[in-house]
Amino acid sequence: MNTNGLLMGFALLGWLFALSTSKTRAENEPKYDNAGLIKKGTKAPLFTLKDQEGKKVDTETFLEKKNVVLIFYPGDNTPGCTKQLCSIREDYSLFKDSDTVVFGINPQNAASHKKFIEKQRFPFQLLVDKDKRVLTLYGAKGLLLTKRTVYGIDKEGRVVFAERGAPSNEKILAAFR
């Protein structure tokens, strides 16, 4: 076999490999609705982020154990975000009773999250998404600010709730029943 034939063979193998891996990636990509939210019934993307203490939180550890609520919010210590997260705090026992963990997520740093938690006495963790990778995966990355978005993920890892804004806690919890 000459050099040209060998090069063409390697090129063909590379092309076949790229084709097979791109299909696998596409199958694992979340499906989005017209509003840019992950469709209900779709497997939620798994991720690992650090919390306000610098500890890693891996959503895969909650599969088959807990329901998960993700609250993507624009900023720590802002009026709308404080009101939304304080509402969760006030009803946190209802979330615990329904076997649900809650995480707030935005790109602000751990120190900012820690101050926000201490000031408002939140019983849940705030996660740092510095590079906005998770915000992008969940359709919550805006042009300048995080889009206020709430997701509910059941124990099987499927999205059961997806809504922009600050939906009521009752509405969020009803998705797990």
Question: 105 Cβ partners below 8 Å, 6+ apart?
Answer: 49, 70, 71, 72, 73, 126, 127, 129, 134, 135, 140, 146
3 lies in the same domain as 78: no
37 lies in the same domain as 25: no
41 lies in the same domain as 22: no
84 lies in the same domain as 152: yes
Q: Span 20-37, mean pLDDT?
A: 66
21 lies in the same domain as 44: no
As a whole number of angstroms, the distance between CA 21 and CA 167 comes to: 38
66 lies in the same domain as 93: yes
Structural domains counted in the chain: 2
Q: Which CATH number do you get for residue 158?
A: 3.40.30.10
| 86 carries an active-site annotation | no
Q: What is the residue range of 7's domain?
A: 1-30
51 lies in the same domain as 5: no
pLDDT band at 15 (very low <50, low <70, confident <90, very high): very low
As a whole number of angstroms, the distance between CA 127 and CA 115 comes to: 13
**146 beta partners:** 141
Global confidence as pTM: 0.84
Position with higher pLDDT, 15 vs 49: 49
pLDDT digits (tens, 9 = 90+) for 102-159: 999 999 999 999 999 999 999 999 999 999 999 999 999 999 999 999 999 999 999 9
4 lies in the same domain as 52: no
26 lies in the same domain as 95: no
- Residue 89, judged by CB atoms within 10 A of its CB (0-12, 13-18, 19+), counts as middle
26 lies in the same domain as 99: no
49 lies in the same domain as 129: yes
Residue 35 has pLDDT above 70, yes or no: yes
CB 150 within 8 A of CB 172: yes
35 lies in the same domain as 57: yes
Choose the catalytic residue: 81, 140, 150, 172.
81
